[in-house]
Amino acid sequence: MKILVAIKQVPAHDSRLFIEPTGEWIEENDLGYEVNEPDAYALEAALQLREQHGGEVIVMCAGPARVSSTIREALAKGADRALHIEEDDLRHWDNLSVAQLLAKAAQTEQPDLVLTGLQSDDLGFGQTGVIMAELMGLPHATLAMSVEVVDGRLRVKCELEGGWFQYVSMPLPALVTIQSGILRLRYATLMGIKRAKTKEVRKITPAELGAAGEPGITLRRIYAPHSLKQTQMLAGSVQEQAAQLVEKLKHEVRVI
């Protein structure tokens, strides 16, 4: 079984974000980066499926040269080889453009199964994997809590609202987006780190894939969240004050 895992490099959770002087984006020079958390669980699911059924795991990542550290981490954990789509600036690419880029790269491998994280920790749109499935003509499932191969078909446990789950059966090839926390993540071993240095990393550009990379999003300005503290005194009887408080929580704070 050939399993392709799409991973993304995102700013580390503890990074302090500062806006560029132009106001168009954040300062990236001093940021630390790590693999997107849901993608790490997608990789772990792929590695466990390979251990059960054989085959190979290929990781695919789009981004500038710095994403090579994330690719090497995935290889050190056990992925067999990698595909690096070299693109210096993806911030102006919309979800459709990114999904088209990844889908075209994935089709060069003709995988039996494509796994992605449910969403990215930085932008959190949660759309790329689903759009990829549509572009590739693959059956797909989202919010996956477990993935099994049974009698040549895929059996996926999907999370629903209110603590409910749904089991979906689908043919291969297919695409599944993975929820965080479904498995215990493994660490890269010293031997795995050494082996990662010799594993193949195929580099390819959007132009070679036939992806023009036309900007789909125009960022004019971004802002830091504006915090405001103020005190309001509620007048009237206890019942009147309670009614006012409920109205403010509903319509101003929007927490109920």
Mind listing the pLDDT tens digit for each residue in 132-143? 999 999 999 999
pLDDT, position 36: 94
Tokens of 234: 């509620």
φ, ψ for residue 41 (rounded to 5)?
-70, -35
Q: Is the pLDDT of residue 108 over 70?
A: yes
Comparison of pLDDT for 215 and 74, the residue scoring more? 74
Q: Is the pLDDT of residue 213 over 70?
A: no
Per residue in 84-98, pLDDT (tens digit) is 999 988 877 888 889
Grade residue 3 by pLDDT with cuts at 50, 70 and 90. Answer: very high
Sign of CA dihedral 119, 124, 130, 131: negative
Comparison of pLDDT for 212 and 227, the residue scoring more? 227
Q: How far is CA 97 from CA 104, 211, 217, 249, in A?
A: 11, 8, 10, 39
Q: Is the pLDDT of residue 211 over 80?
A: no
Grade residue 127 by pLDDT with cuts at 50, 70 and 90. Answer: very high
pLDDT, position 212: 62
Beta-strand pair 140-150/174-178:
parallel
Grade residue 180 by pLDDT with cuts at 50, 70 and 90. Answer: very high
pLDDT, position 217: 77
Could you give the percent of the chain with pLDDT greater than 90?
Answer: 65
Mean pLDDT, residues 33-55 taken together: 95
Three-state SS for 76-105 is HHCCCEEEEEECCCCCCCCHHHHHHHHHHH
Grade residue 210 by pLDDT with cuts at 50, 70 and 90. Answer: confident
Q: Is the pLDDT of residue 106 over 90?
A: yes
Beta-strand pair 153-159/2-7:
unpaired
pLDDT, position 15: 83
Give the CA count within 13 Å in the CB-facing half-sphere of 146. Answer: 8
Mean pLDDT, residues 104-128 taken together: 93
pLDDT, position 69: 94
- Please name each of the domains of the chain with its CATH number: 2-209 (3.40.50.620)
Averaged pLDDT score across all residues of the chain? 91
Tokens of 52: 């059960």
Per residue in 222-252, pLDDT (tens digit) is 887 777 777 888 899 999 999 999 998 888 8
